[in-house]
Structure 1
Amino acid sequence: MMSSESSPLFAGSIPQFYAQYLVPMLFEPYAADLAARVADMRPNRVLELAAGTGVVTRHLARVLTHDVTIIATDLSQPMLDQAAQTASVRPVEWCQADAQRLPFPDQSFDVVVCQFGVMFFADKVQAFSEARRVLRPQGQFIFNVWDRVENNEFADTVLQAVRPLFRADRPPFLTRIPHGYFDPAVIQDDLVRAGFTRLPRISTMTAQSRADAPHLPAMALCQGTPMRNELEAQEPDVLQVATEQASAAMAARFGTGAVEGQMQALVVVAEAG
């Protein structure tokens, strides 16, 4: 999930919370979808950007034949360390790398894939240009981004609960970054500026997010994302207050037992000319 944005920090206990709570609750269905799409492209070499704790990587390892090379990168070494702790069914090359300055030769991959990472790139056009540079002719760049927060019920519920704890002049992390890059026209323009001459294919994918109890999404989003850093920077007890308020809001909206809510993302496929 992490790449080149300077302010969010995926370190400390965040990678563990991220892997334990966020991955099964939010990312698994989208990871399976991306991996299946990549498999349909029949690549020989695949590069993953912003691999985070490796959920897409593990799906790729399962669906791609063993002769396909998979290189998974992320800017955050703690996230890669967490990813490497979970065994995959086949060897994967893990590599710390900045998506804006990829350490790979031109035209060296058939597919570049990124799950919920491009929102973090400080210079998206530069990162997209790097993806295009390392793609072979007719290679595919495939990524997904979260739709607006209002279309993602768990995130929206938590955000509304904790918003009063943030400064009025700075949007919280959830709206500023994860749910801040969802306009198809903006995405298309950035890809064109990066050198993708063919218009991308952009589709919407809706899925269901599930958790065994309402406090789990609250804990995941408050403590397993860089929103934790923003909360802890205020007062010593704000993180706990935010988690409790978010838990109460989740229970009020979804009930006190197992909870389920809609989530929505955009899937983008751009072909290198």
Structure 2
Amino acid sequence: MPAAYEQYLVPVVFRPFADDLAARASALRPRRILELAAGTGVLTSGLLAAVPSAEVTATDLNEAMVAFGSSRAPGAVWQQADAQRLPFQDGGFDLVVCQFGVMFFPDRVAAFTEVRRVLAPGGRFLFNTWGPIGTHAFGAALQAGLERAYPVDPPRFLPTVPHGYADPAVVAADLAAAGFAVEEQQELTLEGRAASAADVATGFLTGTPVRAAVEERGGGPAVRATVVGEMTARLGPGPVAAPMTAYVFQASA
């Protein structure tokens, strides 16, 4: 899964937003950065380039992602960690960053409280979340393909998890409950570019938890063909470009 995620999804879906977060991080001039849910290291690499003087610690709950990411961004210190029980001392970081990871935290207020604990006084928490799935053209096309392939019981991972924390007011309230003050909140739409809709379909179907949901339903070549057909019909043949909307938050401890 990490290899498929890195090959087909990172350049198209995640790198544009990683570049944005890295630039925002650089403007804060941190000395000690902690990254949560670092995945295969696309933001980690961006942080190392944008803030070369900072010490970067990259973490992920998934051991396979940590192993893969550490090979992609060896300039950071990598370790497995649960965001709700961070294995770091109080006040050890100036900046905590997280790209499209907070949606996966089972208890977001608990995780945000841990983030605040490991931040030095005045430290910042910088992260992004996806908007509703309808604002993400690739995700919406993929979900339409799944619903066409499984009209009775389609996989609902995309709308309920990655795009399930899409109300900025709810995110801001969770931050306040953890003791943060929201300094900045921005809706950001960027464009993703892929060689084909089929490549994006491959990324989602083999490099994310959608894979398990499809396999549970007896997925096979016919399902992939249906999804690719629907995505191509919506996005076009050949090289494709599509808008993706996210919310960016910066909060102070």
Do they fold alike, i.e. is TM over 0.5? Answer: yes
8 A Cα contact 1:228 1:239, kept in partner: no
8 A Cα contact 1:222 1:242, kept in partner: no
Quote how far apart the aligned CAs of 1:243 are: 2.1
Pick aligned residue for 1:204 from 174, 187, 199: 187
Are 1:185 and 2:166 matched, yes or no? Answer: no
Query: How many residues are paired up?
Result: 253
1:3 is matched with which residue?
none
Quote how far apart the aligned CAs of 1:252 are: 1.2
1:10 is matched with which residue?
none
1:118 is matched with which residue?
102
CA–CA distance in structure 2, aligned partners of residues 152 and 28 of structure 1: 15
Pick aligned residue for 1:93 from 72, 77, 84: 77
CA–CA distance in structure 1, aligned partners of residues 157 and 183 of structure 2: 27
2:130 is matched with which residue?
146
CA 171–255 in structure 1, closer or farther in 2 if over 3 Å, else same: closer
SS at 1:199's partner residue?
Answer: strand
Quote how far apart the aligned CAs of 1:202 are: 1.1
CA 170–253 in structure 1, closer or farther in 2 if over 3 Å, else same: closer
Are 1:135 and 2:119 matched, yes or no? Answer: yes
Percent of paired sites with the same residue: 44
TM-score by length of 2: 0.95
8 A Cα contact 2:59 2:78, kept in partner: yes
Quote how far apart the aligned CAs of 1:63 are: 1.1
SS at 1:266's partner residue?
Answer: strand
CA 200–185 in structure 1, closer or farther in 2 if over 3 Å, else same: farther
2:146 is matched with which residue?
162
CA 87–194 in structure 1, closer or farther in 2 if over 3 Å, else same: closer
CA–CA distance in structure 2, aligned partners of residues 121 and 244 of structure 1: 33
CA 193–161 in structure 1, closer or farther in 2 if over 3 Å, else same: same
CA 214–142 in structure 1, closer or farther in 2 if over 3 Å, else same: same
Q: Could you tell me which amino acid in structure 1 is paired with residue 97 of structure 2?
A: V
SS at 2:5's partner residue?
Answer: helix
1:269 is matched with which residue?
250
2:47 is matched with which residue?
60
CA 182–200 in structure 1, closer or farther in 2 if over 3 Å, else same: farther
Unmatched 5+ stretches in structure 1: 1-13
CA 169–189 in structure 1, closer or farther in 2 if over 3 Å, else same: farther
TM-score by length of 1: 0.89
CA 206–62 in structure 1, closer or farther in 2 if over 3 Å, else same: same
CA–CA distance in structure 2, aligned partners of residues 166 and 101 of structure 1: 38
8 A Cα contact 1:163 1:172, kept in partner: no
Pick aligned residue for 2:200 from 217, 222, 226: 217
CA–CA distance in structure 2, aligned partners of residues 182 and 27 of structure 1: 17
8 A Cα contact 1:188 1:200, kept in partner: no
2:210 is matched with which residue?
227
Are 1:48 and 2:35 matched, yes or no? Answer: yes
- Please give the residue correspondences for 1:224-263 in structure 2 after superposition, counting only pairs within 5 Å: 224-235=207-218, 238-263=219-244
Q: Give the root-mean-square deviation of aligned CA atoms.
A: 1.6
SS at 2:79's partner residue?
Answer: strand
Q: Which runs of 4+ in 1 moved over 4 A?
A: 164-171
